[in-house]
Amino acid sequence: MATKFASKACCVLLGLLAACPALAMEPGDLRDALQRKSDRYLVLDAEVLLDLEAQFRTLLSRDDDRDLDSVRHQLEQAGFGWHQLDDGVLLLTDADERGLGHYLFRLTSDSPLMVQAPHQFFDRHSGELALNLFLAGRGSVLALNSAHRRTPIRHRSGKADLAHLEGTVFDALTRAFSQTRPDAAVVQLHGFAAGKRKSPEGRRADLIVSSGQRWLQPQAAEFAACFAEFGRWQVLRYPVDVGELGGTTNVQGALLRRLGNNRFVHLELSRPLRDRLRVDRAEFDRFSGCVQALAGGRP
């Protein structure tokens, strides 16, 4: 029997009571759809990636004359499931389990913010927190991986680590987003275990904020300052305060830099902080508010 899940129900299921825009989905629930895991990863050729980039540009254009029927056809041909939700939200799922990823688009939003979690099955709760941010109205796009980062790639060497693998749907979407949003900002959520850190600074950190490069850029520095003002978290900046987990090999960060964009923020969260952000309203509200500030205050 088909069931309709509104936003409050989604937030309760995610372990956090928060003000969220109305979303509805039939059948099943949003969280389950976004956490569906593929056991394979198929490489896409350059032509397919270019076409996906073009379809994403159309989705993000907010052009009243855009042909969404054509976009839907092309994306379904590529293996996506197309689910139109309430309030102009579109869910794209990895319907054929090719490792394409799962995505939410707020089609009526001009927000310059995209939230990504490329390791949702490895960095525990990172995907859930990214979804909570989107449900709280933070950003116009949410991007999640659908294959575990250690999934072998079919017919070639390597693993399906979307943060370090070139030629992925994440790349095509990131490029399209930057091209349609001159002030595009991408926040990428990751998680770390304090016990595996090499430095005392890393072991005591709650958050490590970087620009995914050797120099801390203004947006990441402002982001770190917003977190630090809360007073509850040990917030460290790479490379200023700590020399590890700077995301310097991150593919999406490098892609944005090649496009002249330095508004990539690589965010590492400790496991205790990720656990608290799921249940502590005050901590999540501060975290969410700092994310919104990165987008210029626009939901």
pLDDT tens digits along 126-151: 999 999 999 998 999 999 999 999 99
| Residues 209-224, mean pLDDT to the nearest whole number | 96
Amino acid at 58: T
Other beta carbons within 10 angstroms of residue 269's beta carbon come to 24
User: Considering its fold, how many domains does the chain have in total?
Assistant: 1
CATH number at residue 162: 3.40.630
Domain-located, residue 1: no
**Residue 13 identity:** L
Q: Which two tokens stand for residue 88?
A: 């102009």
**pLDDT exceeding 70 applies to what percent of the chain?**
90
pLDDT, tens digit, for every residue of 90-130? 999 999 999 999 999 999 999 999 999 999 999 999 999 99
Q: What single string gives the DSSP state of each residue in the chain?
A: ------HHHHHHHTT----------SSS-HHHHHT--BS-B-PPPHHHHHHHHHHHHHHHT--TT--HHHHHHHHHHTT-EEEE-GGGEEEEE-TT-SS--EEEEETT----EEEEETTTTTSTTHHHHHHHHHHTT--SEEEE-SB-TTPBBTTSSSB--TTT-SSSHHHHHHHHHHHH-TT-EEEEEEEE-GGG-SSHHHHH-SEEEE-SSSS--HHHHHHHHHHHHTSSS-EEETTTT-SS---TT-HHHHHHHHTT---EEEEEEEHHHHHHHHH-HHHHHHHHHHHHHHTTT--
Residue at 130 is within a domain = yes
Q: What pLDDT is attached to residue 296?
A: 76
Residue with tokens 């794209």: 92
Q: Give the residue-averaged pLDDT of 27-51.
A: 91
pLDDT of 47 higher than 60: yes
Give the per-residue pLDDT at 155.
85
Residue 10's pLDDT is: 44
pLDDT digits (tens, 9 = 90+) for 6-29: 344 344 334 443 444 445 664 348
| Residue 188 in domain | yes
Q: Mean pLDDT over residues 181-203, rounded?
A: 95
Dihedral angle computed from the Cα positions of residues 109, 60, 223 and 241, in that order, rounded to the nearest 10 degrees = 160
Does residue 172 fall inside a structural domain? yes
Cα separation, 32 vs 37, in Å, equals: 10
Flag whether 299 is in a domain.
no
Token pair recorded at residue 176: 């399209």
Which residues contact residue 270 at a Cβ distance below 8 angstroms, ignoring those fewer than 6 apart?
A: 191, 192, 193, 194, 205, 206, 207
**Separation of first and last alpha carbons in the chain:** 34
Specify the pTM: 0.91
Domain that holds residue 266: 7-294
284 CB-side CA count, 13 A? 25
- Treating both helix axes as pointing N-terminal to C-terminal, what angle do 68-77 and 46-60 enclose, rounded to 10 degrees? 150
pLDDT above 90: residue 264? yes
What is the distance of C-alpha 99 from the center of its chain?
15
Contact status, residue 18 vs residue 282, Cβ threshold 8 Å: no
* Angle between helix 169-180 and 46-60 (nearest 10): 40
Structure token pair of residue 231: 């007073």
Classify residue 272: in a domain, yes or no: yes
